[in-house]
Amino acid sequence: MEHPPEYKEEIGACSECGNSPTQHLVQYTIATIDVWSANMAYRASGFAPLRALFRLAGYVGEVVERFNHRLLRVLRLIRSGHEVTKARSYRSQVVWEEAGRRGIAMEQLVFLGSHSDVYRAHINGAWVYFESLPIPRYYEYDAYRWMDDKYRLNEVLRAAGVPVPFIESVTGVQQALEAFQKTNGRAVVKPRAGSRGRHTTTNIRDEESLRAAFKSAKKLCRHVCVTRHLDGSICRGTVVDGKLAGFFQADPPRLVGDGVSTVEELIAAKNAARHERVQPVELREEHEAYLRRAGLTRASVLPKGEVFDLTHRSGRLFGGETRELLKAVHPKLREYLERAGAMLRVPIVGFDLIIKDPEADPESQEWGIIEANSLPFIDLHYLPLHGEPSNVAAHVWDLWNEKSPA
């Protein structure tokens, strides 16, 4: 498999966006509308006529989109691209590579010379158009219209007995402060709609930090979630066709105190010993703020054996480590994730969860699912620092009954 550059993204000008910068006003508008539409879709899912109307609208949208693609092709405004390395994301690239191994013709739509993240594949005698992931008739699955809503997902999974942290959705700072009192003194604040950890603040322990976090999250969505802080690694469990197809564990840059060295000295030692594929930790204001919320500074000395995470951002780009643990996931955790997938009844979903040890009995630790992704970045499972990669794209193509040749 041809691997792309290690990182296709960089930390942007807005530190609160991390390595996935976005235009705030545009994102605010989109996210706020998304929450409204998710609420509408969720209510409609319990009313058969409205559910049928939503599905009909999706079908009509697909027909119109297909017609537009053909028209633009006739007008020579779009053409087909055949270079796999031109894929807009590595998620699309691994799907394209797997299609090639199966003999499935797949092309990228190039609009006026610009390579888009829209593709088409010739499956079962017809061209199927899709964005990055070939999800069969996605509009027929009701949950795809609301599952990216963090608050709504929490509500549904909690009712099904799947572990999730306490959460409340608020629109005002006073509501946020009241919700904070229910988190047992440690909270996370984030936009209710949106992804990639943008404008998310964790490990909040006081009202001043809560106010600042609310102001940050509010930049990207009118609706803000206040939830209980969980300790552990940020993991992604990708469920395809009801089965766990990949499990990725990402750790933030993590320090272990020795009772002598300062935080700054521990960071220097960590950077010196880091793997070549791990980016060095450079103390930024985000790290400083995280330290302050924990009552620490760069000059603080951590007690011997104490573990401290420098930020909520995880993975190699931020100085952390990654593992693919599909074969090692505890059976009960696998069961929970597959149960959550069964509740949503969708062909592909990526669950984000926080847990200290995915290989240990989940009943012995505090953990919870925090988000669901309707268009998950399955490429996470391909380039871990440790562990055997999982070919999730193979499971995705299996949804179309296009089996790999023997």
Domain harbouring 172, CATH code:
3.30.470.20
Residue 214 in domain: yes
State residue 45's pLDDT score. 81
CA-to-CA dists, residue 160 to 87, 145, 340, 353, angstroms = 38, 19, 8, 16
Does position 193 have pLDDT exceeding 60, yes or no?
A: yes
pLDDT band at 53 (very low <50, low <70, confident <90, very high): confident
Residue 297 in domain: yes
First to last CA, the chain: 18
Indicate if 133 and 109 belong to the same structural domain: yes
Percent of the chain whose pLDDT exceeds 90: 76
Among positive and negative, which fits the CA dihedral 175, 181, 182, 185?
A: positive
pLDDT band at 227 (very low <50, low <70, confident <90, very high): very high
Residue 375 in domain: yes
314: left (phi over 0), alpha (psi -120 to 50) or beta: beta
Percent of the chain whose pLDDT exceeds 70: 96
Residues 179-188 have a mean pLDDT of 94
Indicate if 192 and 332 belong to the same structural domain: yes
State residue 20's pLDDT score. 79
Q: Which of 26-40, 86-100, 157-171 has the lowest average pLDDT?
A: 26-40
Residue 89 in domain: yes
State residue 176's pLDDT score. 96
State residue 196's pLDDT score. 81
Residue 317 in domain: no
CA-CA distance, 117 to 131, in Å (whole number)?
Answer: 6
pTM for the model = 0.90
Indicate if 343 and 290 belong to the same structural domain: no
- Residues paired with 35 in a beta bridge: none
Indicate if 56 and 131 belong to the same structural domain: yes
Does position 13 have pLDDT exceeding 70, yes or no?
A: no
pLDDT mean across residues, the chain? 91
Indicate if 212 and 199 belong to the same structural domain: yes
Residue 70 in domain: yes
Does position 404 have pLDDT exceeding 90, yes or no?
A: no
Indicate if 235 and 270 belong to the same structural domain: no
Does position 9 have pLDDT exceeding 60, yes or no?
A: no
Residues 171-181 have a mean pLDDT of 96
Instruction: Dump pLDDT digits (tens) for 135-167.
Output: 999 889 999 999 999 999 999 999 999 999 999
Residue 129 in domain: yes
Contact 238, 203 (CB under 8 A): no
State residue 12's pLDDT score. 54
Indicate if 329 and 193 belong to the same structural domain: yes
Indicate if 193 and 206 belong to the same structural domain: yes
Indicate if 302 and 338 belong to the same structural domain: no
Indicate if 261 and 334 belong to the same structural domain: no
Q: Which of 38-47, 163-172, 270-279, 338-347 has the lowest average pLDDT?
A: 38-47
Domain that holds residue 83: 29-142
Considering its fold, how many domains does the chain have in total?
A: 3
Residue 174 in domain: yes
